[in-house]
Amino acid sequence: MAAHTKAEVPPWGLAIAGSTGAVLANALVYPLDIVKTRLQVQIKQHASDPTWEAESVNHRHYNGTLHAITSIVDDEGIQGLYSGMVGGLLGVASTNFAYFYWYSTVRTLYLNRVSMGVKPSTAMELSLGAVAGALAQLFTIPISVVTTRQQTQPKGDKKGMLATAKEVIDGEHGVAGLWSGLKASLVLVVNPAITYGAYQRLREVIFPGDKPLRAHEAFLLGALSKSLATLATQPLIVAKVGLQSRPPPARKGKPFKSFLEVMRFIVEKEGPLGLYKGVAPQLLKGLLVQGILMMTKERVELSFILLFRYVRKMRKEKLDQLAAMAAKKIDEAKVAVTEKI
């Protein structure tokens, strides 16, 4: 069989493939998303801290991934592990659709207009991914803000998506609060840029050629590339979660204004290693999500390629039939004219 090529799939097809894989992957590992968010947003408290008593009464402190999972189940039941899931998956679908659409669009434009078919360098792959990520974030970050708020709401203060969005809008920053963490998110476009840049490079090195990847090969490449990106950007991920969630008790309701302010606050309270809190579930989630995402994405892309080839084949056969019928009628007309003469 001839090698399959993504050039046969339009940007919207690649976007559907990417968002489908992302939704499936995130639905399967959503409890890890809850755990990593709550670990990242909590601040270690000391008995000498004036907010320690209020913090210990109102919020459970998690000592790690397993403790967080068991504590959430004890406090909120199994459903606690799926708080904000609808908004989360909606955000995942919209963000990944936008990302893959813009990534395939800008990459195709680069190949056709700038490099004239020459494969982009690693630096250019990262740049193309960053541009696509920035465009995607501008349109989808409000969903991320609402989801983060839902994931960190105390048990007795659970709200739906619309009520949570209203809570954000009623806050200090008004409607602009829905874009909290935008600067951090724009900086964090290097995460998918590193992920997909590394994916492309690792694929060329480990599995050269244009043949479609087998499921385990796509999973391996996706997991490796996401792990590299997560380790490189974890402090920014923690800062972004801090910006989008409710301020900790020590802030007395005062929200953070920048991701640098969040990072300084965390370092003051917990030291530099606090910027890597929640890295274990973040890595595990990223490894599983990216592996399943790329595995699913490759399969969906292949389905689109086969579908488009089938449609083109059917169209060609139909056109050939119409051409044959037209030619037959012309021949019959010629015969009829000849007979009359």
Tens digit of each residue's pLDDT (9 = 90 or more) over 3-20 = 445 556 677 777 777 778
Three-class secondary structure of residue 254 per DSSP:
coil
Give, to the nearest 10 degrees, the angle between helix 122-151 and helix 85-109. 160
pLDDT at position 320 over 70: yes
> Six-digit token pair at 60?
């459970």
pLDDT digits over 190-208, tens only? 777 788 778 878 888 888 8
Which pTM value belongs to this model?
0.58
Please tell me the distance from the alpha carbon of residue 266 to that of residue 242, in angstroms, as a whole number. Answer: 9
pLDDT at 89: 85
Q: In whole angstroms, how far apart are CA 66 and each of 39, 72, 264, 274, 322?
A: 11, 10, 28, 18, 66
Query: What is the residue type of 68?
Result: A
Question: What band does 53 get if pLDDT is binned at 50, 70 and 90?
Answer: very low
Indicate the range of 41-45, 76-80, 131-135 predicted with least confidence: 41-45
> Six-digit token pair at 264?
């300084």
Nearest alpha carbon to residue 153 among 277, 50, 307, 41: 41
Question: What band does 54 get if pLDDT is binned at 50, 70 and 90?
Answer: very low
pLDDT at position 1 over 60: no
Please tell me the distance from the alpha carbon of residue 188 to that of residue 306, in angstroms, as a whole number. Answer: 35
pLDDT digits over 254-292, tens only? 888 888 888 899 888 888 888 888 888 888 887 787 778
Compute CA 10 distance to the chain's CA centroid, rounded to the nearest angstrom. Answer: 20
Going by the DSSP 8-state scheme, the letter that residue 110 receives in this structure is I
Q: Which residue has the higher pLDDT, 55 or 80?
A: 80
Compute CA 14 distance to the chain's CA centroid, rounded to the nearest angstrom. Answer: 14
Q: How much is the average pLDDT of 76-89?
A: 86
